[in-house]
């Protein structure tokens, strides 16, 4: 199964999201390039940390261009979307001006579509940075990934960058004022669906006590064969 094509612009959709309804996606990562602190075995964008397309050398979009493209995208829609969602080609909080973008996006939402909710789909790995954590806390739906409750499963399933540990992720998530957990349940050579891996994940969720847990399965293409 081939993986999905990377987003080549700031906005995409609106897509019909299983979780968020009609969602206008915001890609803060470089166009055509996956930029992430994880390399999940089920990633719909494939295994490589960096996939270079024709625009692959380009950097992160400027704050002004992000705001302009989202505003233009909203103007083109016949009605406001249910959600504006930070997601795209990797981990959205990697954008160096992420806090500024959140602040301006809240203003734009207030002016153009006050009923639309603001969400992020994050892998939870950068909440140790206070400015990032504070920005995420301002969003209506801080949807944070937690696929593993033990270090071995995190290492094999999420394949994080070397500085990232499970304990640090859990401590950072505990410090968030509001928390929605998202978890992909998979089976295969590495799995979190049963046994010790699943029990450890349950214990981690209980420790965090989020206001919601979104559990889902892989409906899109996955990076590694054998992931179910």
What residue ranges bind ligand SF4 (CB under 6 A)? Answer: 36, 38-40, 43, 45, 90-91, 123
Which residue lies nearer to ligand SF4 by CB, 49 or 104?
Answer: 49
Which backbone phi and psi does 192 adopt, to 5 degrees?
Answer: -130, 20
What is the smallest separation between the CB atom of 159 and ligand SF4, expressed in angstroms? Answer: 8
Which residue lies nearer to ligand SF4 by CB, 90 or 99?
Answer: 90
Q: How far apart are CA 149 and CA 58, in angstroms?
A: 36
Q: Kindly list the distances between the CA atom of residue 119 and the CA atoms of 12, 144, 165, 215, 221, in Å, as whole numbers in the listed order.
A: 15, 10, 25, 17, 23
CB 41 within 8 A of CB 107: no
Strands in the chain per DSSP E: 11-17, 21-27, 83-87, 117-122, 141-145, 180-184, 212-216
What is the smallest separation between the CB atom of 216 and ligand SF4, expressed in angstroms? Answer: 12
Q: How far apart are CA 121 and CA 86, in angstroms?
A: 6
Rg (CA), the chain: 17
Angle ∠(211,18,30) on CA atoms, nearest 5: 90
Query: Which residues have CB under 8 Å from 72's CB, separation 6+?
Result: none
What is the smallest separation between the CB atom of 90 and ligand SF4, expressed in angstroms? Answer: 5
Burial of 40: CB neighbours in 10 Å, binned 0-12, 13-18, 19+? buried
Which residue lies nearer to ligand SF4 by CB, 61 or 90?
Answer: 90
Which residue lies nearer to ligand SF4 by CB, 38 or 86?
Answer: 38
Which residue lies nearer to ligand SF4 by CB, 38 or 83?
Answer: 38
What is the smallest separation between the CB atom of 78 and ligand SF4, expressed in angstroms? Answer: 30
Which residue lies nearer to ligand SF4 by CB, 39 or 141?
Answer: 39
What is the smallest separation between the CB atom of 79 and ligand SF4, expressed in angstroms? Answer: 29
What is the smallest separation between the CB atom of 36 and ligand SF4, expressed in angstroms? Answer: 3
């Amino acid at each position: 199964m081939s993986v999905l094509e990377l987003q080549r612009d700031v906005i995409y959709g609106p897509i019909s999201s299983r979780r968020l309804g009609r969602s206008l996606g915001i890609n803060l990562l470089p166009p055509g390039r996956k930029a992430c602190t994880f390399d999940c075995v089920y990633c719909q964008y494939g295994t490589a940390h960096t996939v270079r397309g024709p625009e692959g050398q380009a950097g992160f979009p400027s704050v002004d261009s992000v705001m302009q493209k989202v505003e233009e995208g909203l103007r083109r829609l016949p009605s406001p979307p249910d959600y504006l969602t930070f997601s795209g080609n990797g981990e959205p909080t990697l954008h160096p001006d992420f806090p500024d973008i959140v602040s301006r996006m809240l203003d734009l939402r207030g002016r153009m579509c006050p009923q639309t909710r603001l969400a992020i789909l994050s892998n939870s790995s950068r909440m140790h940075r206070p400015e990032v954590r504070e920005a995420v806390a301002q969003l209506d739906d801080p949807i944070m990934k937690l696929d593993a409750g033990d270090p071995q499963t995190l290492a094999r399933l999420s394949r994080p960058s070397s500085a990232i540990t499970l304990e640090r992720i859990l401590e950072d998530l505990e410090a968030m004022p509001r928390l929605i957990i998202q978890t992909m349940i998979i089976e295969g050579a590495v799995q979190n669906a049963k046994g010790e891996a699943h029990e450890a994940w349950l214990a981690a969720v209980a420790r965090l006590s989020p206001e919601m847990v979104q559990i889902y399965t892989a409906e899109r293409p996955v990076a590694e064969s054998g992931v179910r």
